[in-house]
Amino acid sequence: MSASIPMHAVSIDLQDRSYSIAIGADLIAHPDTFAALPKASAALVVTNTTVAPLYAASLQAALAPHYKAVHLVVLPDGEEFKTWQTLNLIFDALLHKSCDRKTVLFALGGGVVGDMTGFAAASYMRGVPFVQVPTTLLAQVDSSVGGKTGINHPLGKNMVGAFYQPQRVVCDLATLKTLPAREVSAGLAEIIKYGPIADMVFLDWIEAHLGALRACDVPALAHAVRRSCEIKAHVVAQDEREGGLRAILNFGHTFGHAIEAGLGYGQWLHGEAVGCGMVMAAHLSQRLGLVDAAFVQRITRLVQGAGLPTVGPVLDAQDNAGRYLDLMRVDKKAEGGEIRFVLIDGPGRACVRGAPDALVRAVIDACCATGA
Ligand code: NAD
Ligand code: GLY
């Protein structure tokens, strides 16, 4: 696998918080991958019960030449464990091992491990360095880049957290070979989103290579991860703390977060909720006169072709649209109780704006299982 895939590096330009994203095959087993990180005597690898038996030993071995001690903490696996209680297991490990404020944390896993490890790094002794080693497609194309870290609250997704940039991101494409097909589809949702918000040429490419991506063809994955990271890095470099522009990266997420919180975390995968959310947001864009029906059909076909749901779940048998609206009012983009949606206002261009409740209700009715 490694022979045919050269290593790529994408840079994210954030002044003194700049870093590089290494993309290649078989990276995590090589000590050189982790050279020139901040000096420390100890490292802590944070992972979960699924990823630990697959990749923890080779990462620990690659880190061994760089640190006197390489510790390991293994968290329970699942979105439902993205909580204060699980976060505390990382602090427990750091304190039990007498880790000092130079200790480097390594997040080995998907977005759940990455978001929690980043938040632990942001707050342990008021901040220690960390490195993202994402092992899901979703984490390689999105969550490991840009410094959003945090945990869920029962009332809202990712409601507690911090902006805190990693020192480096290492996307080892070889780790994706063990990823279940459903997780590959979930990752495709975050890849697809970059097309309508920023790059229609990339959208054409995704459509043409959807089969190869679903089959985890490594050259196709390499291009998708690289282009996704380039787009995300470009947006984050302009608006690191989401004062405005960065919100476009949340296309599909307002409806999607409502689905995740409304069903209970872990029922639908994050990427599945985002995929369906993009279809709903495309419909809302059409009802506001921003795009035509052909564009909505194109997004719907692509989401479906990626193996993702396009029909929303019923969250409340009595007042489904009302339940979605209540959940979406907890969204971080909401301002003064007004829900703000990421909408497409022309192919390859996104905007963030409110919409009348009646219109949103009509979209939910049309897009959910009970709808027309
Ligand atoms: P995840 O972390 O739950 O991983 C999905 C599943 O795949 C888990 O069971 C995991 O153990 C398993 N897994 C991971 N790597 C594997 C491998 N190589 N082989 C086999 N199994 C493997 O989910 P995810 O989709 O990676 O991430 C979703 C999370 O990311 C959500 O909590 C979401 O809110 C967050 N997110 C954050 C950002 C951000 O900017 N910080 C962006 C998007 C999503
Ligand atoms: N996933 C959205 C962001 O990083 O801003």
Domain residue spans in the chain? 8-178, 195-367
Token pair 């589809």 is found at: 185
Token pair 């880790």 is found at: 99
Mean per-residue pLDDT, 167-192: 98
Which residue owns the Cα nearest ligand 2 atom 2? 249
Q: What is the 3-state secondary structure (H, E, C) of 259-295?
A: HHHHHCCCCCCHHHHHHHHHHHHHHHHHHCCCCCHHH
Residue 280 has pLDDT above 60, yes or no: yes
Q: Using one digit for the tens of pLDDT, what is the confidence trace for 238-263? A: 999 999 999 999 999 999 999 999 99
156-163/42-48 β-pairing = unpaired
Please report, in angstroms and rounded to a whole number, the separation of the first and last CA atoms in the chain. Answer: 47
CATH topology of domain 195-367: Dehydroquinate synthase-like, alpha domain (1.20.1090)
**pLDDT of res. 156:** 81
CATH 3.40.50.1970 fits domain 8-178:
yes
Token duo for residue 193: 């989103």
Is-contact 45 117, C-beta < 8 A? no
Mean per-residue pLDDT, 330-340: 85
Q: Using one digit for the tens of pLDDT, what is the confidence trace for 121-141? A: 999 999 999 999 999 999 999
Distance 97 CA to ligand 2 centre (A): 33
pTM here? 0.96
Q: Do 195-367 and 8-178 fall under one CATH topology?
A: no
Residue 200 has pLDDT above 80, yes or no: yes
1 — pLDDT class (breaks 50, 70, 90)? very low
**270 Cβ below 6 A of ligand 1:** yes
Q: Using one digit for the tens of pLDDT, what is the confidence trace for 61-75? A: 999 999 999 999 999
Q: Using one digit for the tens of pLDDT, what is the confidence trace for 139-154? A: 999 999 999 999 999 8
**146 Cβ below 6 A of ligand 2:** yes
**50 Cβ below 6 A of ligand 1:** yes
Specify the ligand 2 atom closest to the Cα of 242.
5
**pLDDT of res. 214:** 98
Distance CA 300, CA 135 (A): 27
Distance CA 255, CA 206 (A): 23
Of residues 336 and 158, the one with the higher pLDDT is 158
Residue 52 has pLDDT above 80, yes or no: yes
Mean per-residue pLDDT, 221-225: 97
**pLDDT of res. 331:** 81
For residue 335, the cross-strand partners are 338
**pLDDT of res. 2:** 43
**pLDDT of res. 371:** 45
**240 Cβ below 6 A of ligand 1:** no
